[in-house]
Amino acid sequence: MKWSDEAWNRIQPVYQKILDMDFNKQLTDGSLDKEKFKFYMAQDAYYLGEFGKALSAISSRMKDLDDVLAFSNFASGAIVVERALHEGYFKSLGVPDDVKPSPTCLLYTNFLLNHAAYSNVEVALAAVLPCFWIYKRVGDYIYELQVATSSNPYKEWIDTYAGEDFANSVNQAISITDKLAESSSPSQRESMHQAFEMATKLEWMFWDSAFKLEEWPV
């Protein structure tokens, strides 16, 4: 079995919980509170900047030059989306420019940067993969359900992750991860599963923290 097939099977319980989240249900029907969306956007801009740095670090650690190129393209893709948020949603929603990360956002970005810098590169790949894969699946799911309500104020955002280009990036990231998993030991493959599963839980926590408008306790 491919590493990615097993990885996807293992995260099914968490993935189903993500589809059932109030944040995603309300985004789908357009009823999500504007403040929650604004919080999410601001945190996502911070996330994307750090995610771009993690992808750049991973890119520099790849052996195959095609993979170096793929990850450096993903990194610039994340930064381009971050810039677009600043130009678009930030202005229209009135988000301040100096976003401070929430506890969950900082936890997630530091988890990714830590793997990118210190773990074996295949484990670092497994850590960033849910960001691609979960968003693609959740994006497609939300996109299909929202068709009936085209007046949804979040339509533009929903459409972002439903495009063909994004689907190609996701498939490329999955196949590079599978290629490295094939030449890894069973214990390395297990470490990859652990990183993949933890990143999936952090995706759940990221949406949950926006829904709760999470604050620092002190």
Contact residues: ligand VIB, CB under 6 A: 44, 47-48, 51, 74, 77-78, 81, 131-132, 135, 169, 203, 206
Residue 158 has, within 13 A of its CA and on its CB side, a CA count of 24
Task: Report DSSP state, residue 32.
Answer: -
Closest distance to ligand VIB from the beta carbon of 31 (Å): 21
Contact 134, 161 (CB under 8 A): no
C-alpha neighbours within 13 Å on the C-beta side of residue 106: 8
Q: Provide, rounded to whole angstroms, the least separation between the CB of residue 185 and ligand VIB.
A: 28
Give least dist CB 163 to ligand VIB, A: 11
- Alpha-helical regions (H) of 62-148: 65-87, 89-93, 103-118, 121-146
Closer by beta carbon to ligand VIB, 123 or else 173: 173
What is the number of the residue whose Cβ is closest to ligand VIB? 77
Cα–Cα distance, 155 to 72 (Å, whole number): 29
Closer to ligand VIB by Cβ: residue 77 or 188: 77
Shorter beta-carbon distance to ligand VIB: residue 74 or 196: 74
Within 8 A by CB and 6+ apart from 45, the residues are 82, 85, 86, 90, 95, 99
Q: How far is the CB of 215 from ligand VIB (least distance, A)?
A: 18
Q: Which C-beta is closer to ligand VIB: that of 25 or that of 137? A: 137
Nearest Cα neighbor of 161 from 138, 180, 182, 177 is: 138
User: Which residue, 162 or 184, is less far from ligand VIB as judged by CB?
Assistant: 162
Least separation in angstroms between CB 183 and ligand VIB: 25
